[in-house]
Structure 1
Amino acid sequence: MITLNTERGLERIASWDDIATISGFTPNIDPKTVKLKEIIGSYAFDAYIPCGLSTCHQPHGKGFLVAAVDGRVTNIGRFCGKTHFSVEFTQMSRVYLAAVRAQQNREFLGALKNQLPTISAEVAALKSGQNGASWIYSRINQLTGQTVSLPAPITNAVRQAIRRGDGILMKERAATKQEREDRAAAVDVAGLEHLRRNVSFGVEVRMGQLDGFAAIAPGSELRPILLAIEPFLSTLPDTDIDNLPDKQLRELSKVGGELDANLERLRTLVAAGRRLLVRQNISQLAPFATNRSETQSLEKFLRDLPQQEF
């Protein structure tokens, strides 16, 4: 593939044969008698192309198309460029590559700009639609105790499942007499004399597992993802891409390059949140309530949830 940086933008040429049609192209230039003007293109091929310098002609797969002050154009590899044209070539290659990257960023952002209506509509639906990110975010904050609405035993159970990293709901109860006896029989009496037959201890019991746990797993917060998406979607439509300073162009392109991944992350977390915030799923927390008042608080929360996934 050959990339030419022209006044009309980047032109991509698939065949080396087309290079011969460039005005002034010659496959044989004496580096001792030529002065470079600028780099006008670059190429990368599986098949090797002979160097255009008369003192080399070594085949290579990657190189640059250079224009001389006298109007001639030829192709040279990176090493030949540095060897014969030293710092001048290095500087030209930097200028060329920076210009190509900038033009590629402009093309990328321009194409993305055309897709914005569709993308913005999807983000709006994922955020503000029925059981969307805003609705999910508010209720996850209640479940995890970020906002005061559910009793501590309920939110502590959820937090414990988050710390465990698997969404499993565990509740501790006192060991039965038989469990205490079994434990005492199993210990090394000589080394663990303090574990007497009647000493009580807690036993963890699995009460259930939260479906859609990914919505509350560490690092799954919805707000940072929306903050990475929404400012970009609101900024790009009114941005003059062609006249954007290089630094802003790079920064905006970087955010744009992360858009697909952020969108997929948003879709995934909203889907997980909708699985999580289903009445039957969250009702697994009922055994953690310690009194009628706590049970009523959970029931009120449950009434606001759909009976099945949206």
Structure 2
Amino acid sequence: MITLNSEKGLVRIESWDDITSRPGFLPHVDPKAVKLKEIIGSYTFEALIPCGLSTCHQPHGTGFLVVTEGGNETNIGRICGKRHFSVEFMQMSRAFLHAIRAQQNREFLWEVKNRLPTISVEVSAIRGGEYGAGWINTRINQLTGKSASLPTPIVNAVRQAIRRGDGALTIERAATKAEREDRAAAADVKGLEHMRRTLTFVEDQVGQLDGFTALAPGNGLREILGAIEPFLSTLSDADIDSLPDKQLRELSKVGSELNPNLERLRTVVAAGRRLLTRQNVQQLARFATSRAETRLFEQFLRELP
């Protein structure tokens, strides 16, 4: 692959023949007879390309296309360039690579900016639509106790499921004599007394929350939207071609995370909709410990589809 930095932007060329057929390209250039004017391109090939310097011609896979002060073009590798043109070549190569990265960032941001209308419509619909991110976030906050509106035993059951990491709803009860004896019999002899003392309680699974992904750490919808919406707003207002280098790099870095964040948003919202159904959440009713807690929980259930 060959990348040329032209006045019209980056030009990518697949064939080396397209380079050797360019007007002014010379496959043999005496490094002692010329001075470099600028680097105009870079290339990487699996097949090795002979160096264009007449004193070298060493085949290599990665190098640069250069223009001499006389207007001719040739190709040289990094080592040859440094050896024959010293600091001047190194400065040119750094400047070229910097310009390439900047232009790549601009092209990337323009591509994303052209998608902004579609992306913005989708994000807006996900956030504010029926059973959207805003609705889901409010009810997940209730289930996890960030909003004090559900009975503590029910919130604790949800938190326990989160700690388990699998969405299983469990209750703890005293182990029966038979259970203690079965476990003791299966234990290593050295651990027998320890097991007799500690295996007093057992856990029974009494439910399984569908859509548990929406509750998992790191999947907060507020945080995901907070990584998407400010970027969309900034990019919408940005004059990409005039951005300073630092801002260009920073905006491109955030932009590179846009598609993964959009996919996370879609995934978590889909999981939240599976989680927050009346039939699914009804499994938590058994954790209420009083009539008042049951009434409060039923009020929450009535808000679910």
Residue 295 in structure 1 maps to residue 300 in structure 2: no
Partner AA of 1:7 in structure 2: E
Q: TM-score, normalised by structure 1?
A: 0.91
Deviation at 1:190, TM superposition (A): 11
Residue 146 in structure 1 maps to residue 146 in structure 2: yes
Partner AA of 2:75 in structure 1: N
CA contact (8 A) 2:184 2:192 kept: no
Structure 1 counterpart of 2:171: 171
Structure 2 counterpart of 1:67: 67
CA spacing shift, 1:54–1:118, aligned 2, 3 Å: same
CA spacing shift, 1:153–1:26, aligned 2, 3 Å: same
CA spacing shift, 1:72–1:277, aligned 2, 3 Å: same
Aligned pairs (5 A) from 1:1-310: 1-176=1-176, 192=193, 201-306=200-305
| CA deviation string 1:186-205 (max 9, x = no partner) | 88799739958xx9943322
Q: Output the CA distance in 1 between the equivalents of 2:122 and 2:235.
A: 16
CA spacing shift, 1:238–1:65, aligned 2, 3 Å: same
Structure 2 residue matching 1:192: 3-state secondary structure:
helix
| CA deviation string 1:134-167 (max 9, x = no partner) | 1111100000001100011000000001001111
Q: Output the CA distance in 2 between the equivalents of 1:71 and 1:97.
A: 21
CA spacing shift, 1:99–1:181, aligned 2, 3 Å: closer
CA spacing shift, 1:33–1:304, aligned 2, 3 Å: same
| CA deviation string 1:166-190 (max 9, x = no partner) | 1111112234566567678888799
Q: Output the CA distance in 2 between the equivalents of 1:82 and 1:193.
A: 72
Q: Output the CA distance in 2 between the equivalents of 1:193 and 1:11.
A: 72
CA spacing shift, 1:183–1:97, aligned 2, 3 Å: closer
Structure 2 residue matching 1:5: 3-state secondary structure:
strand
CA spacing shift, 1:180–1:77, aligned 2, 3 Å: closer
Deviation at 1:2, TM superposition (A): 1.4
Structure 1 residue matching 2:62: 3-state secondary structure:
strand
CA contact (8 A) 2:161 2:168 kept: yes
Q: Output the CA distance in 2 between the equivalents of 1:47 and 1:200.
A: 68
CA RMSD of aligned residues (A): 2.3
Structure 1, unmatched stretches of 5+, are none
Q: Output the CA distance in 1 between the equivalents of 2:10 and 2:119.
A: 26
Q: Output the CA distance in 2 between the equivalents of 1:124 and 1:59.
A: 55
CA contact (8 A) 2:168 2:208 kept: yes
CA spacing shift, 1:194–1:92, aligned 2, 3 Å: closer
Q: TM-score, normalised by structure 2?
A: 0.93
Q: Output the CA distance in 1 between the equivalents of 2:191 and 2:221.
A: 54
Deviates more, 1:57-66 or 1:16-25: 16-25
Q: Output the CA distance in 1 between the equivalents of 2:195 and 2:220.
A: 45
| CA deviation string 1:88-144 (max 9, x = no partner) | 111111100010111111111111111111111111111111111111111000000
CA spacing shift, 1:102–1:305, aligned 2, 3 Å: same
| CA deviation string 1:51-91 (max 9, x = no partner) | 10000111222110011112121100111111111221111
Percent identity between the two aligned chains: 70
CA contact (8 A) 2:29 2:74 kept: yes
Q: Output the CA distance in 2 between the equivalents of 1:172 and 1:3.
A: 65
Q: Output the CA distance in 2 between the equivalents of 1:215 and 1:106.
A: 35
| CA deviation string 1:4-28 (max 9, x = no partner) | 1111211122222222343322111
Partner AA of 1:292 in structure 2: R
Partner AA of 2:242 in structure 1: N
CA spacing shift, 1:24–1:181, aligned 2, 3 Å: closer
Deviates more, 1:214-223 or 1:260-269: 214-223
CA contact (8 A) 2:184 2:195 kept: no
Q: Output the CA distance in 1 between the equivalents of 2:191 and 2:44.
A: 76
